[in-house]
Every structure is written in C-alpha cells, then in structure tokens.
C-alpha cells in the first residue's frame, strides 16, 4: 500500500486520544464527528491499521432501507470474524448485534476489538431500531468487555451530539471519549501537500486555503505543476470539477430539509462582520422564528459551517453568526451566480485567472484573509506574545444619521488582562503594506472612537497583520508596535517530515 495514501498528517491530539482508549483496561465508547470530507474515516482506518487488533468497520448507506443496511452489516461480520463465510441476514438490529456479540466472545480475550460504525446516523434512521439495540447491548454486554473500543462516527455532527453524546436515554453519560475532527490548519495543509509531492510557496498555499480551507478531501485533488489559481479554476469552475456541485451535495447529504439550511448559510454570509439573529429571523423564508430556527443554526454550527459570537461591547445585541467554512464563502461569493452559465460552457479553465485583480476580487480576498486570520488566532497571539486569557473580538460603531461623530471598525482586537488593548489591522496586498499619513490618522480615529463609545481607559497598542509585510514609514514607526506576516502562520514542518521519512 502506498505510504503517501495512508500516513496521517497532523491529528496529534486525536491520535493520542485514540492511543489512550486503545491502552485502556476498560471498554471505551468513542464519538467521532466533524465536517463532511474532513477525514474522520481516514484517521480511524489508518490509525488502527498499525495495530494488532480485530477491526470491524461497517458504513451506513444514505437513504438505504433497513434490510440493505443489515445485509451490509452481516457481510462485514462474516468477512472480519468468520474468514468471509456467508451469514444469514438477521431480521432486525437486535438480532444483528446479538450475532456481533457472539463473534466478539469467540475471539481471544487478549485481542482488542474495534467496532467502527461509520456514518452511523444513516444506519440509525427513524424506526430502524438500531439506536435502541445499541443502548441495550452496550449496557447489557459490551461495557463489561474490556477489549472493546466502540467508535460511533458521522458527518451529521448535530445527530451525533444530540442522539449519542447528549442522549437522555440508555446512552446517557456512556460516552468515554469524544473526538471533534476539524479541518487542517494552514501549517498542516503545507505538510499535506509536500507529502503528495506538491511544493508551493506560502502565498500560493494561502490562496488555496482561502478557497478550500483545510478540508483534506478537497486538497487531495490539488494537481502537481499547476498554480493555486489554475487548481481553483479546474476544481470550482469546470462543470466536471470536484467542487462544481459540492455545495448542493454536502447539504443534501447532511440535512433532510437542505434548502432551509442553504438559505440560512446565505443570510449569515450577507454581512462582512456577521449577521444578527434578529436579521436572520427577518430575512429567512423557509424556517421562520423560534425553536426550529435555533435548532437549525445550532446544527450548522455543530457541523462547522457557521460560528456564533457576541460582538465586543455590544452584548445587548445578542448572538451574531458568521460563515466560517471557506468553500461555502467562496461558493456564495463566486460560484452560485455563475453556475448556470458555466454549466453550459465546455471549458472554463481561464475563468478564475480573468477574475484575479478585479475590484470584486480585491474586495473578496481582503475579506477572505480576515476570515483566515480569525481561524488562526493562536498564531497571531504567539507572534504578538499575547496570552490565551486575552479576549479576542471585532468591534464596529455606526454613527447615527445626522450626527457629527464618525464611525469606526476594528478588524481584530485583544482585550488583555494587563490593562492594555491591542488592536489589529488586517491587510491583504501583493506588496508590503504602506501606512501613510491618511491611514495613520484613521488608526488614531479608531482608538478615539472606541474610547469614547466604550469608556475604555486602557493602554492601546496597534499591530498590523499583513501577508506581505509592512514597509517602514515615519507613520508606521510612530504607531505600529507589532507585526504579523504570512510566515508567522506557518510553523516548522520538520517534525512531520522526519516522521514520514522514518
């Protein structure tokens, strides 16, 4: 087997958690969930590939009947425990898990048994009886079998959370460990691409990240010898590209009423600094208000598509929502409006290259870089030597109509516990950013407005987050006390490379 296809990049904490479960002297019940395409199955399969264990892996089939699910389950039972022998398909899940229990009891007591139920929400459809059967067999038998590691996995994170992790029935407080798998950081993306023989500059990797995020399944289709822009065009704007129809496919695979969820994503993405719950209630047509809306917003957040936050200094306004999935943001900004036109054309290889440098592109890339920075706050904290206790957020003041005061917007700020505030300006550019006289006074005005509106009397520092760095001017020397460049977001990958080469 190709080592390139099985080596696990990153996921260090997740692997440690799996190792602790594997070494445990008690039965372990592990819930694994995260965004679709993020690599959950890859992690579990390739981690246990290294172990001398019985690995029982069954995968749910979307929209399949209970009988089809049971047939697949029974087939895998025969392959794993009985050397491929055919087994009569049980009539229901109680019978299926009874057969599995018999197979478990027939294995040597010293061998670990991994029960990996992948895409479990598809298996445990309504009225299937699987969840009730699992309740019974875990509590009655499996919890007392120390060699068992039961892993329940799924892309429908809300289902896993509500039905397994927070279950109020027979599985209440039965989960021993949970692993929330997130997309790669940009450092892990660099390592991932290098292992696949793709060597790109940090700027090129950033270009890819702002479109694809850290989703391994998407990154796996990056082609060697093509630039970031060429890969984006091929994947997103060619009607045969992997991501051309991905938006619809992802939501239809996760949610029954997927049009309502797509509408909420679109509304949440309509404002650069996030959209209030009140505005979402006002704008959406398919969900309405109340508990149903709350549930759907929570499900989108659990699945990694949006994030909720309370604006700094505006707690009275309640929760705001921002789309944090890069591909969704890119689709809504560029692909949605053009998709019908592009689908009619045979070749759109030059589309993205033609867009680069236009006013719309420049506006989008600035926003995308801000979103990237919000996802990599730990790198910014490290570069600016700001500890984890400092509260991070954004701030905005809109002046009243007809008023004399001016508005102000702070891209990112850290309210520190040493009686100081660091405000960060986020700027994307092809050349080192220049702080001129006008920009200098704009920064002073932001601090002035913030102090006036909040009554804050702390010490203020100004830092620049600029992908291409900062050009020294008399004004930058006067006001800028910290700088974060693209290099600060990339950590050394030598540890990963050594592990791979060994």
One domain for residues 334 and 222: yes
Q: What are phi and psi of 58, to 5 degrees?
A: -125, 140
One domain for residues 250 and 371: yes
One domain for residues 30 and 125: yes
One domain for residues 313 and 406: no
Share of the chain above pLDDT 90, in %: 75
One domain for residues 422 and 442: yes
Exposure class string for 335-359: b at 16+ Cβ within 10 A, else e = beeebeebeeeeebeebbeebeeee
Q: Has residue 502 got a pLDDT over 70? A: no
Q: What is the pLDDT of residue 498?
A: 40
One domain for residues 220 and 363: yes
What's the DSSP call for residue 485? Answer: -
216 in a domain, yes or no? Answer: yes
pLDDT digits (tens, 9 = 90+) for 202-233: 999 999 999 999 999 999 999 999 999 999 99
pLDDT digits (tens, 9 = 90+) for 318-376: 788 999 999 999 999 999 987 777 766 665 667 898 899 999 999 999 999 999 999 99
Q: What is the pLDDT of residue 401?
A: 74
Q: What are phi and psi of 96, to 5 degrees?
A: -65, -45
The pLDDT mean for the chain works out to: 90
Total Cβ atoms within 10 A of residue 287: 20
10 in a domain, yes or no? Answer: yes
pLDDT digits (tens, 9 = 90+) for 68-84: 999 999 999 999 999 99
389 in a domain, yes or no? Answer: yes
Mean pLDDT of 228-243: 92
More confident residue, 158 or 146: 146
289 in a domain, yes or no? Answer: yes
pLDDT digits (tens, 9 = 90+) for 85-116: 999 999 999 999 999 999 999 998 889 999 99
- Quick one: pLDDT band at residue 309, thresholds 50, 70, 90? confident
Q: What is the pTM of this model?
A: 0.90
- Quick one: pLDDT band at residue 492, thresholds 50, 70, 90? very low
Residue-number span of the structural domain to which 283 is assigned? 184-375
What is the CA angle 158-336-204, rounded to 5? 85
394 in a domain, yes or no? Answer: yes
Q: Has residue 500 got a pLDDT over 50? A: no
One domain for residues 305 and 451: no
Domain boundary among 375, 405, 435: 375
Q: Has residue 25 got a pLDDT over 90? A: yes
Q: Has residue 170 got a pLDDT over 90? A: no
One domain for residues 161 and 199: no
pLDDT digits (tens, 9 = 90+) for 438-481: 999 999 999 999 999 999 999 999 999 999 999 999 999 999 99
Mean pLDDT of 271-288: 88
One domain for residues 272 and 418: no
Decide if 320 contacts 308 (C-beta within 8 A).
yes
> Which residues are paired to 482 by β-bridges?
463
501 in a domain, yes or no? Answer: no
Sign, Cα dihedral of 352, 353, 356, 360 = negative
One domain for residues 325 and 198: yes
- Quick one: pLDDT band at residue 495, thresholds 50, 70, 90? very low
Q: What is the pLDDT of residue 493?
A: 43
Mean pLDDT of 148-157: 94
Mean pLDDT of 295-304: 92
Domain count, the chain: 3
Q: What is the pLDDT of residue 499?
A: 39
3-state secondary structure of 418: coil
> Among residues 89, 86, 50, which one has the least CA distance to residue 69?
89
Domain boundary among 119, 154, 181: 181
497 in a domain, yes or no? Answer: no
Number of H helices, E strands in the chain: 24, 15
Q: Has residue 246 got a pLDDT over 70? A: yes
One domain for residues 92 and 176: yes
Decide if 351 contacts 233 (C-beta within 8 A).
yes
CA-derived radius of gyration, the chain: 25
498 in a domain, yes or no? Answer: no
| DSSP per-residue string spanning 259-296 | HHHHHHHHHHTSSTT-EEHHHHHHH-SSS-SHHHHHHH
Share of the chain above pLDDT 70, in %: 94
Q: What is the pLDDT of residue 340?
A: 73
One domain for residues 37 and 88: yes
Q: Has residue 36 got a pLDDT over 80? A: yes
Q: Alpha-carbon distance 99 to 74, whole Å?
A: 9
Q: In this structure, what CATH number is given to the domain that contains residue 391?
A: 3.40.1350
Q: What is the pLDDT of residue 158?
A: 87
Domain boundary among 330, 348, 375: 375
Q: In this structure, what CATH number is given to the domain that contains residue 138?
A: 3.40.50.300
């Amino acid at each position: 087997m190709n080592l390139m296809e099985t080596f696990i990049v990153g996921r260090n904490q997740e692997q440690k958690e799996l190792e602790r479960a594997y070494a445990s002297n008690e039965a372990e019940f592990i819930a694994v969930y995260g965004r679709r395409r993020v690599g959950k199955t890859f992690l579990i399969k390739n981690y246990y590939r290294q172990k001398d264990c019985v690995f029982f892996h069954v995968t749910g089939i979307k929209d399949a009947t209970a009988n089809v699910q049971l047939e697949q389950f029974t087939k895998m039972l025969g392959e794993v425990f009985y050397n491929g022998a055919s087994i009569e398909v049980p009539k229901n899940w109680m019978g299926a898990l009874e057969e599995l229990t018999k197979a478990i009891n027939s294995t040597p007591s010293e061998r670990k048994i991994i029960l990996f139920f992948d895409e479990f929400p598809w298996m445990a459809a309504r009225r299937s009886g699987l969840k009730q059967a699992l309740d019974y067999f875990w509590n009655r038998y499996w919890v007392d079998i120390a060699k068992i590691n039961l892993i329940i996995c799924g892309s429908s994170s809300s289902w896993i959370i509500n039905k397994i992790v927070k279950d109020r029935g027979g599985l209440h407080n039965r989960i021993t460990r949970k692993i929330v798998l997130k997309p790669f950081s940009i450092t892990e993306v660099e390592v991932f691409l290098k292992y696949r023989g793709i060597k790109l500059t940090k700027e090129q990797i950033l270009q890819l990240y702002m479109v694809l995020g850290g989703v391994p399944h998407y990154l796996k289709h990056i082609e060697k010898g093509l630039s970031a822009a060429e890969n984006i065009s091929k994947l997103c704007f060619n009607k045969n590209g992997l991501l051309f129809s991905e938006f619809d496919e992802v939501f239809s695979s996760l949610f029954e009423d997927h049009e309502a969820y797509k509408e909420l994503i679109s509304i949440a993405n309509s404002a650069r600094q996030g959209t209030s719950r009140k505005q979402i209630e006002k704008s959406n047509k398919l969900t309405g208000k109340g508990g149903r809306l709350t549930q759907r917003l929570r499900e989108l957040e659990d699945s990694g598509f949006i994030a909720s936050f309370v604006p700094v200094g505006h707690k009275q306004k309640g929760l705001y929502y921002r789309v944090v999935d890069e591909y969704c943001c890119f689709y809504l900004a560029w692909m949605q409006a053009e998709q019908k036109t592009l689908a009619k054309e045979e070749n759109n290889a030059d589309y993205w290259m033609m867009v680069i440098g236009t006013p719309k592109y420049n506006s989008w890339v600035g926003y995308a870089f801000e979103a990237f920075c919000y996802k990599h706050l730990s790198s910014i904290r490290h570069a600016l030597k700001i500890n984890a206790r400092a509260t991070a957020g954004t701030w905005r003041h809109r002046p009243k109509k007809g008023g004399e005061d001016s508005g102000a917007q702070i891209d990112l700020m850290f309210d520190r516990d040493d009686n100081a505030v660091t405000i960060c300006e986020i700027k994307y550019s092809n050349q080192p950013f220049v702080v001129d006289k006008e920009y200098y006074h704009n920064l002073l005005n932001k601090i002035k407005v913030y102090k006036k509106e909040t009554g804050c009397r702390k010490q203020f520092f100004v830092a620049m987050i600029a992908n291409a760095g900062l050009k020294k001017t008399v004004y930058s020397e006067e006001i800028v006390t910290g700088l974060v460049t693209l290099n600060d977001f990339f950590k050394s990958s030598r540890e990963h490379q050594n592990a791979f080469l060994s």
